[in-house]
């Protein structure tokens, strides 16, 4: 991986009394915040060691600029289809802001020598700045690495030990960066746009939570007939209390104020054994949402809602509350190895299959576009 230092813009925390409010608004009002009073612009290009600490633990990575050719040549791999309208929106924002305000989150196979370097860099060294957030009880800490020796060492390690990385969050930002690079190569934009702003985190510091689903309307089924239809594909068991799925190929379902455990039948799993990974989200989409519940397009159907994994079963219940004909599904999280397997085989995951942790914040460290 060809990483490079970048011209950063980062906040002067002494002027920011409420990080939650300030950084929550920066996405919509970047132009109003981008001045020398609130942000520091060092006159050098740097890398940043980045640590996120929350109730789940501590996650450490590296902020760097990456040659867009690493994406175009397949060294940075995707697992999600992008929509042209969203790519266009991201491109417009980048051109207007003249900055990338949030890095693309990349996961890579953990390399001990890289993790050791990141850990050593922070030992006994005061951070450049840190920000604490009430939401999620998170602390984001940054150490700037600007000396030529440190930058060269990080570059050497990433080139030697990180041959491939996988987009965890930021597919549309990556696609829009590639579009801008192509336009620049055609002479339609003045800058080269050859760099992608990234946050590298090792596989050991990446956690995946599920995206759960709620469907409004039972497609003419009663709760009883829906259970009968599901029994063609699943073993159905009533649960004494709400529980998340305990393992892969198990789902929890909330229907008519009752909880059920669904386990895919072996015959169904065998039909999909040729796939790079047999994903519960894919099976749910195909045999339940489409065949049984009549959803023709899981990307755009207004009857389908997605509930982020961190909201848990309580969030799923709240989403269903007041809906007389709703069914909710709680999925077991896809594993990072499955994401990598799908990406290596140039396959896309179903929409809203993964919720990656840690989550990046807008405006903490930004990459300026330089002429």
Segment 99-117, tens digit of pLDDT: 899 999 999 999 999 999 9
- Based on the domain organization, do 239 and 106 belong to the same domain? no
**Does 176 lie in the same domain as 95?**
yes
Residue range 45-68, pLDDT digits in tens: 999 999 999 988 899 999 999 999
> Could you tell me if 184 and 226 lie in one domain?
no
Q: What is the mean pLDDT of residues 219-234?
A: 95
Express each pLDDT in 240-250 by its tens digit: 999 999 999 99
On whether both 134 and 260 belong to a single domain, the answer is: no
Where is average pLDDT lowest: 113-117, 259-263, 267-271, 296-300?
296-300
Does 371 score more than 60 pLDDT? no
Task: Please indicate, yes or no, whether residues 253 and 106 belong to a single structural domain of this protein.
Answer: no
222 shares a domain with 196 = no
pLDDT for position 340: 94
Q: Is the pLDDT of residue 152 over 60?
A: yes
The pLDDT assigned to 278 comes to: 94
Average pLDDT, the chain: 91
Per-residue burial over 9-30, b if 16 or more Cβ lie within 10 Å, else e, is: bbbebeeeeebeebbeebeeeb
pLDDT at 3 over 90: yes
Reported as a pLDDT band with limits 50, 70 and 90, residue 145 is: very high
pLDDT band at residue 189 under the 50/70/90 scheme: confident
Cα separation, 103 vs 106, whole angstroms: 9
pLDDT beyond 70 at 34 = no
Q: What percent of the chain lies above the pLDDT cut of 90?
A: 67
Stronger pLDDT, 158 or 34, i.e. the higher one: 158
264 pLDDT more than 80: yes
Going from the C-alpha of 258 to that of each of 238, 239, 331, the distances in angstroms are: 8, 8, 17
How many separate domains does the chain show?
A: 2
**Are 183 and 257 within one domain?**
no
How confident is the model at residue 92, as a pLDDT? 87
Residues 314-335, mean pLDDT to the nearest whole number: 90
- Judged against a pLDDT cut of 90, whether residue 24 lies above it is answered with no
- 144 and 15 together in one domain: yes
On whether both 258 and 329 belong to a single domain, the answer is yes
| Among the ranges given (53-57, 157-161, 225-229, 364-368), the one the predictor scored with the smallest mean pLDDT | 53-57
CATH number at residue 285: 3.30.1760.10
pLDDT value of position 298: 81
Same domain, 164 and 252: no
pLDDT greater than 90 at residue 36: no
Say what percent of the chain tops pLDDT 70.
97
pLDDT on residue 32: 57
More confident residue, 322 or 4: 4
Domain that holds residue 167: 3-207+357-368
Going by pLDDT thresholds of 50, 70 and 90, the confidence category of residue 254 is very high
Least confident of 1-15, 27-41, 256-270, 294-308: 27-41
Residue 81 clears pLDDT 80, i.e. is over it: yes
Least confident of 31-40, 105-114, 309-318: 31-40
- The pLDDT of residue 26 is 84
Burial of 186: CB neighbours in 10 Å, binned 0-12, 13-18, 19+: exposed
pLDDT score at 87: 87
pLDDT at 154: 97
Strands (E), the chain: 3-4, 6-11, 39-40, 45-54, 57-67, 76-77, 99-100, 104-108, 129-133, 138-145, 165-169, 195-202, 207-216, 234-238, 250-255, 258-264, 304-308, 326-331, 354-357, 366-368
Q: For residue 31, what pLDDT is reported?
A: 64
Q: Is the domain of 230 the same as that of 138? A: no
Rounded to a whole number of angstroms, the CA Rg of the chain reads 22
Asked if residue 361 lies in contact with residue 133, where contact means CB atoms within 8 angstroms, the answer is: yes
219 and 183 in a single domain? The answer is: no
């Amino acid at each position: 991986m060809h990483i490079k230092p970048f011209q950063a813009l980062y906040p002067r925390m002494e002027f920011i009394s409420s990080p939650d409010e300030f950084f929550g608004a920066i996405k919509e009002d970047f132009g109003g915040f981008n001045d020398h009073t609130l942000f520091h612009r060092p006159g050098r290009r740097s890398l940043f060691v980045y640590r996120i600490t929350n109730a789940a633990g501590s996650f450490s990575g590296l902020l760097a600029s990456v040659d867009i050719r690493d994406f175009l040549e397949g060294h940075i791999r995707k697992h999600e289809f992008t929509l042209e309208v969203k790519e266009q929106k991201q491109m417009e924002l980048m051109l207007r802001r003249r900055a990338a305000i949030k890095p693309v989150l990349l996961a890579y196979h953990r390399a001990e020598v890289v993790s050791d370097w990141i850990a050593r860099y922070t030992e006994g060294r005061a951070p450049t700045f840190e920000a604490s957030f009430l939401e999620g009880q998170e602390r984001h800490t940054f150490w700037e690495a600007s000396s030529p020796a440190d930058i060269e060492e990080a570059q050497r390690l990433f080139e030697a030990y990180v041959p491939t990385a996988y987009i965890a969050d930021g597919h549309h930002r990556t696609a829009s960066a590639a579009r801008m690079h192509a336009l620049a190569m055609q002479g339609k934009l003045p800058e080269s746009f050859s760099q992608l702003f990234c946050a590298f985190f090792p596989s050991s510091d990446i956690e995946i939570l599920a995206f759960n689903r709620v469907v409004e309307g039972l497609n003419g089924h009663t709760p009883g007939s829906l259970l009968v239809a599901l029994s063609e594909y699943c073993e159905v068991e009533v649960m004494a209390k709400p529980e998340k799925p305990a393992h892969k190929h198990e789902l929890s379902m909330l229907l008519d104020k009752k909880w059920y455990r669904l386990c895919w039948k072996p015959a169904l799993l065998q039909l999909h054994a040729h796939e790079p990974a047999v994903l519960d989200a894919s099976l749910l989409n195909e045999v339940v949402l489409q065949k049984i519940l009549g959803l023709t397009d899981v990307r755009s159907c207004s009857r389908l809602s997605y509930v982020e994994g961190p909201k848990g079963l309580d969030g799923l219940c709240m989403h269903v509350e007041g809906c007389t004909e709703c069914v909710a599904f709680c999925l077991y999280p896809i594993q990072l190895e499955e994401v990598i397997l799908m990406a290596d085989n140039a396959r896309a995951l179903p929409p809203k299959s993964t919720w990656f942790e840690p989550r990046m914040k807008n405006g903490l460290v930004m990459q300026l576009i330089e002429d």
